[in-house]
Chain A
Amino acid sequence: MKINNDQASSAVGLLIGALIVIHSFVYEIGSMSAPGVGFMPLLAGMGIILFTLIGLGKASVQSLKGIWWDPLWKGMKWERIVIALFALFLYALLLKILGFILTTILFIGFLLRVLEHQRWRVAITWAVLSALSFYVVFEVWLKSQLPAGVLGI
């Protein structure tokens, strides 16, 4: 069976709504005269279910008319997204271990070298300059407490 984009996304929305509604009952729903803590999440969950059902219905009608899956990543450089997300998660993982300066140099250098195919010299220079400038702004000027890591600064 072929499904289209709106059918797929509204099905995910429906699942989210159902989970919210079910979990709302873990908390006290209360009554109309004394709404409990689960009252508003329940309403929000019911809203999500209602609107995704409308979407699912509309998308199904479109599907019957021959509007099927529109390939969203066709012709797109999706691998760049994967690489960027990998770099972002790695940054979060290494920030406390290696410290701000080292992690930032690796992060910027990686993006420029791997994603943008810059020459090593350009990537490293830009990465070091960026890390130092951000260190001055955030640590020295704004007094943020950036992680020191292995370098101790």
Chain B
Amino acid sequence: MDISSGVIAGFQVALQPNHLFFAFVGVLLGTVVGVLPGLGPVATMSLLLPVTLSVSPISAIIMLAGIYYGSQYGGSTTSILVNIPGEASSVITCVDGHMMARNGRAGPALGIAAFGSFIAGTLGVIGLTFIAPPLAELALKFGPPEYFALMVAGLSLISFLASGPFWKALFMASLGIFLSTIGVDNMTGTTRFTFGILELMDGVGFVPVVMGLFGIGEVLINLEQPMAVSMLKTEIKGVLPDLKDWADSIRPIFRGTILGFLLGILPGGGAVISSFLSYAVEKKISKHPEKFGTGVIEGVAAPESANNSATAGAFVPLLTLGIPSNPVMAMLLGALMIHGVQPGPLFLKEHPEIFWGTITSMYIGNLMLLVLNLPLIPLWVRFLKIPYRFLFPMILLIVLLGAYSMNNSVAEVIITIFFGIIGYLCRKFKYDLPPLILAMILGPMMESALRRSLLGSGGDPMIFLTRPISLVLLMIPLFIFSSSIVPWLRKRKKLLPAEKFD
């Protein structure tokens, strides 16, 4: 199937009424969680994973993808109006966005954030449409050694970009790999580390773990230090940017789009880093860098475009290689695997309807977001007024019910609460959760690739170094490890913002 017929087939899938409904629900929920501080896309997707079991895989991924890119739209609203980023990727938008609001220009700031997001999101999806199929063809040449090397590289990058010390991130990744080995071994059928507990025979469930770590863990942290949100007393008028606003913004939007898409593809890269870097680029090349921070529209347009196109870029490695480049993608991978669908090089051939349906639904979703966001900005602002004291019992209830309804088992609920405590303690002791989640998802694939590689080579580990693609991929972790002893690279890492998804 070539690209044009794939796109047509994709639209036939995405335009079906039930898929339109799930795309709408996804982008709507995404915008709401983007608006609400303290509830991010990973937490929301983890809460909704059990719900997706009752729908088809394509409906599930359309909705979950909608939550992801929808949250990037919504995140800017709180940044601009309240100076509290709804999402980590909207942190930098606070700087000029909130200053614009204080200067009485909240409307154009919100407007350009929405338009920039739409343009970047759509262009990002076009990029995805053309890059994903040839990359999937290339990935067909990958054998177990290349896959193992790719996953090691991805995990190393995620760990390197974690907000805390490198050793903590690698500890979490190792722990995630261990957790993935619990249960029945796929190659021999032997059970491992189950200690006779029946519920562990199928392994530690991905859903209870993420719901506990992100859902309960996040609530517990918020409970010990209640959030105080104060609204900016300003009237929002004229959300349509004028001609001067467009003239100032259009180039930053396109630059942010390209940067965001390219960074989104890289494992470990993503919406957060791309938003910070695009802001830095704009400030660097601006004729009036001193005005950045005082409320310039370029400071809103560039990062908001970058974080949206990064979401499209992040789909490239997931759909073509089966490798999630960030925890949100790991969540999507988990959702597909629950449905028995394995993304990777054969994904396009085996499930063209899901592949193209997902991509084309994103075109439609981006259009829905533009239509939703501009007229509904006052409504999103009202969501900010929901007191957390009424919100958190609902979040806990969704987590508990989601965990229970997986297998109608109270043991799953207790496992979820247990991981909630782990998530809380990890936050207190500053251990990043994303490396654990990613390692847990990649663990079974890594183990299989490693064992197959060693079996195939007669136990010779040089197989990873004698194959060119594998060698190149393994150079990435080597480069990263060397960075801990090279001062210049250490300094570079400090300059990068932390990737936070919860």
Provide the A61-96 mask, 1 if CB < 8 A to any CB of B, else 0: 000000000001100111011001100110111011
Chain A stretch 18-71: residues in CB contact (< 8 A) with chain B: 20, 23, 27-28, 31-41, 43-45, 47-48, 51-52, 54-55, 58
Report chain B residues within 8 Å CB of A47.
170-171, 173-174, 177
Is B181 within 8 A of A41, CB to CB?
yes
Chain A stretch 103-117: residues in CB contact (< 8 A) with chain B: 104, 107-108, 111-112, 115-116
Q: Is A120 an interface residue (CB 8 A)?
A: no
Asked if A33 meets B455 with Cβ closer than 8 Å, knowing A27-B192, A47-B174, A54-B167, the reply is yes
* Chain A residue with the shortest CB-CB distance to B392: A111
Is B447 within 8 A of A40, CB to CB?
yes
Is A130 within 8 A of B165, CB to CB?
no
Is B223 within 8 A of A115, CB to CB?
yes
Is B410 within 8 A of A96, CB to CB?
yes
Report chain B residues within 8 Å CB of A55.
165, 167-168, 171
Report chain B residues within 8 Å CB of A118.
389
Docked CA distance A138–B51 (Å): 9
Q: Is B450 an interface residue (CB 8 A)?
A: yes
Asked if A34 meets B459 with Cβ closer than 8 Å, knowing A44-B175, A44-B178, A48-B178, the reply is yes
Is B404 within 8 A of A40, CB to CB?
no
Docked CA distance A34–B454 (Å): 7
Report chain A residues within 8 Å CB of B447.
40
Is B190 within 8 A of A27, CB to CB?
yes
| Among candidates A40, A107, A126, A146, residue contacting B450 with C-beta atoms closer than 8 Å | A40
Interface SS of B by simple majority: helix
| Among candidates A9, A51, A77, A81, residue contacting B424 with C-beta atoms closer than 8 Å | A81
Is A81 within 8 A of B223, CB to CB?
yes
Q: Is B483 an interface residue (CB 8 A)?
A: no
Q: Is B185 an interface residue (CB 8 A)?
A: yes
Is A77 within 8 A of B397, CB to CB?
no
Chain B stretch 385-435: residues in CB contact (< 8 A) with chain A: 389-390, 392-394, 396-397, 400-401, 404-405, 408, 410, 413-414, 417, 420-421, 424, 428-429, 431
Report chain B residues within 8 Å CB of A10.
171
Report chain A residues within 8 Å CB of B431.
9
Asked if A144 meets B420 with Cβ closer than 8 Å, knowing A51-B167, A84-B220, A108-B393, the reply is no
| Among candidates A32, A37, A104, residue contacting B190 with C-beta atoms closer than 8 Å | A37
Report chain A residues within 8 Å CB of B2.
none
Provide the B131-175 mask, 1 if CB < 8 A to any CB of A, else 0: 000000000000000000000000000000000010110110111
Docked CA distance A140–B45 (Å): 22
Docked CA distance A36–B65 (Å): 38
Is B454 within 8 A of A45, CB to CB?
no
| Among candidates A9, A23, A88, A144, residue contacting B417 with C-beta atoms closer than 8 Å | A88
Report chain B residues within 8 Å CB of A36.
188
Chain B stretch 34-48: residues in CB contact (< 8 A) with chain A: none
Q: Is B216 an interface residue (CB 8 A)?
A: yes
Q: Is A121 an interface residue (CB 8 A)?
A: no
Chain A nearest CB from B194 CB (Å) reads 11
Interface residues on A, range: 35 or more
Report chain B residues within 8 Å CB of A54.
167
Q: Is A151 an interface residue (CB 8 A)?
A: no
Q: Is B224 an interface residue (CB 8 A)?
A: yes
Report chain A residues within 8 Å CB of B174.
17, 44-45, 47-48, 51
* Chain A residue with the shortest CB-CB distance to B458: A33
Docked CA distance A143–B417 (Å): 24
Report chain B residues within 8 Å CB of A41.
178, 181, 192-193
Report chain A residues within 8 Å CB of B404.
95, 144, 146
Report chain A residues within 8 Å CB of B4.
none
Chain B nearest CB from A23 CB (Å) reads 7
Is B459 within 8 A of A33, CB to CB?
yes
Report chain B residues within 8 Å CB of A58.
165, 167
Is B401 within 8 A of A144, CB to CB?
yes
Chain B nearest CB from A35 CB (Å) reads 5
Docked CA distance A112–B429 (Å): 28
Is A142 within 8 A of B51, CB to CB?
yes
Report chain A residues within 8 Å CB of B63.
none
Asked if A138 meets B417 with Cβ closer than 8 Å, knowing A58-B167, A77-B223, the reply is no
Chain B nearest CB from A88 CB (Å) reads 5
| Among candidates B168, B181, B187, residue contacting A44 with C-beta atoms closer than 8 Å | B181
Docked CA distance A7–B431 (Å): 13
Query: What are 8 residue pairs bridging A and B, where the CB atoms are less than 8 Å apart in the complex?
Result: A34-B454, A44-B181, A88-B400, A91-B413, A108-B397, A138-B401, A142-B405, A146-B405
